Structure 1
Amino acid sequence: MKKSYRLKTNDEFQKVFKQGKSFANRQLVLYYLPKEAQPHFRVGLSVSKKVGNAVVRNRIKRYLRQAFLELELDIKPTYDFVVIARVPANNLDFHQTKKSLIHVLFKSKLLVKDIRKVRVQKTPN
């Protein structure tokens, strides 16, 4: 994911938390704030130390970044997102993480179309 697609400063995160709306499931909490002036969405990720050690936290963030990258054309572009991973997220593989992200995006009506029924193809080992 390009750096222009990321929220970086504490002020940007706080603005999304305070002025935005949120939806959640067991694994993820999604905060979002409309930003009409920007051409694409931006994402901030937060994974607490409660979720796991640094290896686990970085894996979850990699999975979320890749899921956003794959869903880029299906997500409404003029929003800032903050995704917070909850403790059950440490047991998910990439496909389950992507499915969980699709679920919260669908609940918050931020998908351009309903892609929940599209089967996620698992790559053979």
Structure 2
Amino acid sequence: MNKRHRIKKNKEFQEVFRNGESFANRQFVIYYLEKPGQDFYRFGLSVSKKIGNAVTRNRIKRYVREVFHELDDEIKTSYDYVIIARKPTSSMTVHEVKSSLMHVMKRSKLLNVSR
């Protein structure tokens, strides 16, 4: 992922939490905030220590980044996204993560083209 596609600073996370909207399912919570002047999307990940050890948390983050990479053309631009993983993600495969993220993004109308 390109550096400009990342949300890293706490201030940026808090802005999305305070001013954005959210949708959730059992595996993920997605907060999103529209940024009208921005011609690309940015996203940040939050995976709590409650979910598992560092290996598990890093695996989940890799899976989510891979899903965003695969859905790059379908994800609406000019938005900031914060994805929070919940406990059930610790035992999911990459295909299950993709299915779950697509589900919650379709519900929140964040995909340009529905599959």
Asked if these proteins are the same fold (TM beyond 0.5), I'd say: yes
2:16 corresponds to: 16
Deviation at 1:3, TM superposition (A): 1.4
2:91 corresponds to: 91
State the identity as a percent: 57
What's the CA shift string for 1:24-60, capped at 9, x where partnerless?
A: 0000000000001111100000000000000000000
Look up the SS of the partner of 1:72 in the other structure.
coil
Which structure has the larger Rg over C-alpha atoms? 1
Q: Which residue type is aligned with residue 9 of structure 1?
A: K
Distance in 2 (alpha carbons) for counterparts of 1:3 and 1:102:
23
1:62 corresponds to: 62
Look up the SS of the partner of 2:60 in the other structure.
helix
Kindly report which structure 2 residues correspond to 1:22-33, keeping only aligned pairs within 5 A, or say none: 22-33=22-33
**Alignment: residue pair count:** 115
Report whether the alignment pairs 1:52 with 2:45: no
Distance in 2 (alpha carbons) for counterparts of 1:104 and 1:5:
20
Distance in 1 (alpha carbons) for counterparts of 2:72 and 2:36:
17
Q: Which residue type is aligned with residue 63 of structure 2?
A: Y
Look up the SS of the partner of 1:74 in the other structure.
coil
Distance in 1 (alpha carbons) for counterparts of 2:74 and 2:41:
11
Distance in 2 (alpha carbons) for counterparts of 1:90 and 1:2:
26
Structure 1: which 5+ residue stretches go unaligned? 116-125
Look up the SS of the partner of 1:77 in the other structure.
coil
1:74 corresponds to: 74
CA RMSD of aligned residues (A): 0.5
